[in-house]
Amino acid sequence: FSLKMDNEYQEVVPISLKFTNAPRTKVLLDVSDSVIFVEVHEKGSELLKYKYVVNRESLSVNMRNIILTPHGKKSTGYILTSSLIDDLGYQLGLTGKVVSISPDTLHFTFMKESSRKVPVTAEEQIGTEKQYMIYGNVIFKPDSVLLKGPDDLLNGVRSVSVGKLVYQGLTENVELVQPILLEKELKYLTAIPNEVQVIIPVEKFTEASLEVPITVVADYGMNFKLFPETVTVNYLVALKDYSQVT
């Protein structure tokens, strides 16, 4: 395949698509095509750039003004690809004459969008060195996220996860940012925010003891003599809390 730079040719250029701005309260479930094939009349130098040199971005397709037809819980709509000709020039710099675009129509399927707040969880496999322990629970900031998507999917979701937290031999806090992981079957859901801060609090613990009196709860007028009158309670306490319990 050879091109003379100054000659004009007709060639088919594949253009990938990305879809933005779904109609209000709707979420995109399916689209008939994610690539269009544009037949363009252009100089050889430009065709070479389009097909082999330039790392083209996807063409952004705005769905906001699609006219929808309801079908039960779903709605459908379409866009004629001929309406994208101006965008090919503005967005991608395609300056030649567009002869044809295939397919001639993009078909869309939407569903009503709902939202629900759900807690963040993780699968924890965490260990510490001797004398160290996890201080309380793993902390997520924020501790919940807003899920948006189709009703049918949201109804079955009770929590979202950041995946596995695998650490051994910890002696100090761990702080990191983890993305929210959604199962493949939940691909039509969106988490806001889509990542959270994770804090694994680690403290050094020591053993302490405390002598406490024994009390008896009894009916009025009953007397008891206890032997012994106190017991010694042994416990583990974080060093930073030691002064509060001694």
Express each pLDDT in 64-117 by its tens digit: 999 999 998 899 999 999 999 988 888 877 777 888 999 999 999 999 889 999
Residue pair 116/147 in contact by the 8 Å Cβ criterion: yes
User: Which percentage of the chain shows pLDDT scores above 70?
Assistant: 89
In angstroms, rounded to a whole number, what is the distance separating the alpha carbons of residues 189 and 22? 14
Instruction: Give the helix/strand (H/E) hosting 55.
Output: none
The larger pLDDT score, comparing residue 17 to residue 58, is at 17
What pLDDT digit, counting tens, does each position of 160-198 carry? 999 999 999 999 999 999 999 998 888 889 999 999 999
In angstroms, rounded to a whole number, what is the distance separating the alpha carbons of residues 237 and 203? 9
In angstroms, rounded to a whole number, what is the distance separating the alpha carbons of residues 38 and 159? 44
Among 13-17, 133-137, 151-155, the range with the most confident prediction by mean pLDDT is 133-137
Task: Tell me what the mean pLDDT of segment 215-233 comes to.
Answer: 79
pLDDT at 198: 97
The larger pLDDT score, comparing residue 243 to residue 160, is at 160
User: pLDDT category, 137, cuts 50, 70, 90?
Assistant: very high
Residue whose pair of structure tokens reads 């702080």 in the numeric block: 175
pTM, two decimal places? 0.66
User: Which percentage of the chain shows pLDDT scores above 90?
Assistant: 52
pLDDT at 178: 97
Q: Is residue 44 pLDDT above 90, yes or no?
A: no
pLDDT at 1: 46
**Quick one: tokens of 106?**
């993009």
pLDDT at 216: 79
In angstroms, rounded to a whole number, what is the distance separating the alpha carbons of residues 113 and 115? 7
Of 245, 246, 214, nearest to 229 by C-alpha is 214
Q: Is residue 8 pLDDT above 90, yes or no?
A: no
Name which of 112-116, 200-204, 220-224 the model is least confident about.
220-224
